[in-house]
Structure 1
Amino acid sequence: MSAVPELLILIPLPAQLLAQLRDDHSLPAWHYAPAGIDDALAGLQQVRTVLTNGSTGLSQAQMQAMPQLRLISAFGAGYENIDLAAARQAGIAVTHAPGANNATVADHAMALMLGLTRGLHVLDSAVKAGGWEHNRAARPTVNGKRLGILGLGNIGAQIARRAAGFDMQIAYHARDARSDVPYQYCATAGALAQYSDYLILACPGGPATRGIVNRDLLARLGPQGFLINVARGSVVDTPALIEALQQHTIAGAALDVVDGEPALPAAFHALDNLLLTPHISGRSPEAMATQLRMFTDNVAASYAGKPLQHVVPS
């Protein structure tokens, strides 16, 4: 690697993708700094491209530390923590990878819903510890139940299609009702929670949705209701969720994302009605290969002065 990289990678990538980047001799010299920009090389004067994601983002101050920066690429669909106004003012293009991992996230949402409902995370450990007969209590099933989806974009729509295969009754809340889907529209998130046996969060992150799942909404979901989050951790008021799980005012929750991740609240460790995965809903070999290709194609286009693909609207 060159001592003066032109590409800065700020997010953790699997070893296989890093190997592909090393083997791609069309790329400029790059530096890998998944611990954050403060741990990157002191000299960022030649950086032209940054690879980040919606959670990590890129601030105006960080952009200003890289005077040659021309492209910020989000590895995934989300870009909520990239300062778009600062990028626009500085003439820096921002791209993302919409659609690359939609199917994978939808699959994972269904896996979380089924695993949580049937208590698989608890039963696996119990059976392996010798507790076969004492752990054969009846568990709920999703068949025919009411599913609410908060956010009916591409991912939410794929979740709905999968849930239809379980004969679930489907409703959704989004900024606007859609005329192209057969699902029931709820005018507010609270009304959706009131409707739902299962509430799956598939909405964007950012200020507009921060803490939308609060104490009131969880109360509306109720003691038979399950919460599944494959959106962003910021969407959920974590103290309110912990209280609801401790007091069993909801039946359970499955989270692929946590506000402040990877740090976890200490209270999580004592909750057997909580199922956790480490923000991997969008990670499959197919999805990550597609995201990497979309990124490298845009790097090549940026250097060649050609139009970029999947530019975030300014």
Structure 2
Amino acid sequence: MASAGGSLLVLPAVLHLRRSDADFTAALRERFRVLDFFASGQPLPAFLAAAAAAPEPPRAAVVVGGGSVRVDASFLDAVPSLRCVVSTGAGVDHIDLDECARRGVAVANSGEVYSTDVADYAVGLLLDVLRRVSAAERYVRRGSWPAQGDYPLGSKLGGKRVGIIGLGNIGSRIAKRLEAFGCIIHYNSRKPKDSISYKYFGNVHDLAAESDVLIVACALNKATRHIVNKDVLEALGKGGVVINIGRGANIDEAELVIALREGKIAGAGFDVFEHEPKVPAELFSMDNVVLSHHVAVFTEESRSDLRAHTVGNLEAFFSGQPLLTPVDADSLVQ
């Protein structure tokens, strides 16, 4: 590409460590020299070594959560030129924020791009579990209705006590939606929220004991790994329902499977799993469980918004402007 003065304009290099659709990749290539890991066919160490050895090594990287690439000390050692990491998800458990801060590497995430869609999806999962929508649909498709009569009734959403773990951008939107259904909202976070009328619980066990539904909407970190464990599930009780649109490892998945199998809770809705894409086989035969493949964030609109948001963060970095959605450890308090 030539500039107006005739000199060669070198686009800034960006590491692309995410499987993307053609539109996303094209939007990056219009503005940056994209070094695409998945298109390279190389093992990650060789790919990073080649990028670091380039005459104009990359100063920014685009990464995705839940994948095989973790931005930690060894990653940053491999590409010492990096000064910015942009995650295309809201969660940043795949990024060592402390190490990035120590090295002066700025971090950005997707901000609120997905928040509305994930909140909608959480409510959809809850409605499906309570009203048995998917299970009844399978019943009808099997032709069981004429032979066996009506499918067993579900439970209403209105009036349910809903405990939300993590009242951040997504959790607060879930709360507003469920208020409209007549639900009673409780929440847990690291500290109470100012100007919030919902009842606050300092620990998840007590929250579960006062809830009919637990919705996991928190970030994944050392404090929140397996925040929903055996004791919490027992406190929730036989009539309780768990919805997870956070991260799979927020829940002790093995204990949740046991609780469902033994009837210690009434049902669950999962969009995320502890060892994705592996899903515990026992869940497949449970009609009180709704499963989806980590898609709560994705709509046609959110894909378009994410492209623009990612490019915006990168352009801000390369122009020396503040990132659109900077992230540090303190900003993740929910």
TM-score by length of 2: 0.86
The answer to whether residue 52 in structure 2 is matched with residue 28 in structure 1 is: no
Indicate which of 283, 288, 306 corresponds to 1:291.
Answer: 306
Match of 1:95 among 102, 108, 112: 108
Cross-structure match for 2:60 = 49
Gaps of at least 5 residues in structure 2 are: 1-11, 330-334
Per-residue displacement from partner, 1:277-299 (whole Å, max 9, x unpaired)?
11111112222322222221222
Partner of 2:265: 250
The alignment status of 1:188 with 2:193, answered yes or no, reads no
What are the residue-to-residue correspondences of 1:8-87 with 2, within 5 Å?
8-22=15-29, 25-33=30-38, 37=44, 40=47, 43-45=50-52, 46-56=57-67, 57-87=70-100
The alignment status of 1:226 with 2:241, answered yes or no, reads yes
1:124 counterpart residue number: 137
Aligned residues: 309
Deviation string, structure 1 residues 148-201 (Cα, Å, up to 9, x no partner):
111111211111110011111111111112231221222321111111111111
Q: Which residue in 2 is equivalent to 1:216?
A: 231
Q: Distance in 2 between matches of 1:174 and 1:193?
A: 13
Alpha-carbon offset, residue 306 of structure 1: 3.0
1:199 to 214, 229, 233: 214
CA distance in 2, matches of 1:84, 1:218: 31
- Amino acid of the residue matched to residue 26 of structure 1? R
Q: Percent identity?
A: 33
Shift of 1:87: 1.6
Which has the greater radius of gyration? Answer: 2
Q: Is the 8 A contact 1:8 1:50 kept in 2?
A: yes
Residues 62 and 88 in structure 2, CA contact (< 8 A), matched pair in contact too: yes
Structure 1 residue 19 displacement after superposition: 4.1
Distance in 2 of aligned mates of 1:202 and 1:258? 14
* TM-score normalised to structure 1 length: 0.91
Give the letter aligned to residue 298 of structure 1.
Answer: N
Q: Which amino acid aligns with 2:160?
A: K
State the SS of the aligned residue for 1:86. helix
Q: 1:179 to 1:48 in 2, by over 3 A?
A: closer
Cα deviation for residue 89 of structure 1 reads 2.7
The unaligned stretches of length 5 or more in structure 1 are: none
C-alpha distance after superposition, 1:183-237 (max 9, x if no partner): 1222321111111111111111111100111111001111111000011111000
Counterpart Cα distance in 2 of 1:107 and 1:239: 27
Q: CA RMSD in A?
A: 2.2
User: Does the 8 Å contact 1:53/1:78 carry over to 2?
Assistant: no
